[in-house]
Amino acid sequence: MERHPVVIIGGGPAGLTAGYELVKQGIKPIVLEKADKVGGISRTETYKGYRFDIGGHRFFTKITEVERFWKEVLADDFIKVPRLSRIYYQGKFYNYPLSLFNTLSNLGIVSSFFILLSYLKAKAKAKFLPHVEPETFEEWVIDRFGERLYRTFFKTYTEKVWGIPCSKIRADWAAQRIQGMSLKRAVINALFGSQNAKSLIKEFDYPRLGPGMMWERCQEILESQGAPVHLKTAVTRIEHDGSRILSITTEQDGDPVPQTCPRQITADHFISSMPVTALVQRLDPAPPAERD
């Protein structure tokens, strides 16, 4: 069993930033990343010589500490990029923030009519039938926008970004993310413009080779300071005694590999940026099915 001062689970932005700050303090952590490259959903993939981001990533902040961190890591490798946001859906581009005429033109009269009809149906149902409190994201959105608009935009976008079926996401999360939004407000904003749209930044910083460049550089800095970053390394077991983590067990590419990364690791401190659901599933002993 190998011991380290700090073990960091996850080589995405959170894990690597933690590692970077620790190295600056003279502490050498070990970072474990399940994927074959660092960056998480902020990584940059390469395909046939082209670079692709996993989702849209802009580097813009009013927080001094974050700005300092970015500049320390990438220095002069930022470029200024003009802001242009559009949604590509069924072969057409939709302006973002949504433009009423652009949206209706792309959807066509028939689809727009059925979206409106579905919306009115949902409103009538809410007004004349006994109210049932929605429990999932799917129920919450359909209740407020109608099933047609939910299936047209909300379902596909949400499941693509978060990787979880809308029927498995809690309604209170939806209320928090889409609070204050309504079809009526969307139409008014599209016709007359919204204050939010007017306040959007015109340009932003962007790493020369994509956002993944930030985290690849961060990996290089950590490793140059004696803090190893192990890729293709999954944490399969987290042994604990009450609220204290004792050790973790790792596998690489599905097989135990003591060669490149110790199979069992203990540390003074553990930092986890892995999904909470995955973290809970790996706890040993397992947590109770329900909270007391």
pLDDT in tens, 251-282: 987 555 555 666 899 999 999 999 898 999 99
Q: Which amino acid is at 81?
A: V
User: pLDDT by residue (tens digit) across 59-78?
Assistant: 988 899 999 999 999 989 99
User: 3-class DSSP state for residue 50?
Assistant: strand
Indicate whether 192 and 151 sit together in one domain. Answer: yes
Q: Compute the distance between CA of residue 256 and CA of residue 152 in angstroms, rounded to an integer.
A: 44
Last residue of a domain, one of 196, 228, 256: 196
Indicate whether 21 and 105 sit together in one domain. Answer: no
C-alpha angle 73/71/66, rounded to 5°?
100
Confidence of residue 199 (pLDDT cuts 50, 70, 90): very low
pLDDT for residue 209 is more than 70: yes
User: pLDDT by residue (tens digit) across 77-132?
Assistant: 999 998 887 888 889 998 776 666 777 788 888 988 998 899 899 989 888 888 88
Tokens of 197: 């749209």
- Does residue 145 contact residue 183 with C-beta atoms inside 8 Å? yes
Residue ranges making up the domain that contains 252? 2-75+209-284
- Report if residue 87 sits inside a domain: no
DSSP H helices in 146-249: 147-149, 155-162, 171-177, 183-192, 195-198, 212-224
Q: Compute the distance between CA of residue 79 and CA of residue 76 in angstroms, rounded to an integer.
A: 8
**Domains held by the chain: number:** 2
pLDDT for residue 197 is more than 70: no
Indicate whether 128 and 105 sit together in one domain. Answer: yes
Indicate whether 38 and 122 sit together in one domain. Answer: no
Indicate whether 167 and 115 sit together in one domain. Answer: yes
What is the pLDDT at residue 126? 84
- Does residue 149 contact residue 119 with C-beta atoms inside 8 Å? yes
Indicate whether 107 and 188 sit together in one domain. Answer: yes
Count of C-beta atoms within a 10 Å radius of residue 115? 23
Tokens of 263: 């199979």
Q: Which range is most confident: 99-103, 160-164, 192-196, 212-216?
A: 212-216
- Does residue 225 contact residue 23 with C-beta atoms inside 8 Å? yes
Closest CA to 177 of 166, 190, 191: 166
pLDDT for residue 196 is more than 80: no
Indicate whether 192 and 100 sit together in one domain. Answer: yes
pLDDT for residue 168 is more than 70: yes
What is the pLDDT at residue 90? 84
Instruction: Give me the sign of the Cα torsion angle 160, 161, 163, 169.
Output: negative
What is the pLDDT at residue 84? 84
What is the pLDDT at residue 281? 94
Closest CA to 29 of 227, 211, 232: 227
- Does residue 223 contact residue 23 with C-beta atoms inside 8 Å? no
Indicate whether 116 and 58 sit together in one domain. Answer: no
Count of C-beta atoms within a 10 Å radius of residue 86? 11
State the burial class of residue 290 (Cβ atoms within 10 Å of its Cβ: 0-12, 13-18, 19+).
exposed
Cα first-last separation, the chain = 34
What is the pLDDT at residue 80? 92
Indicate whether 171 and 218 sit together in one domain. Answer: no
Return the CATH number at 16: 3.50.50.60
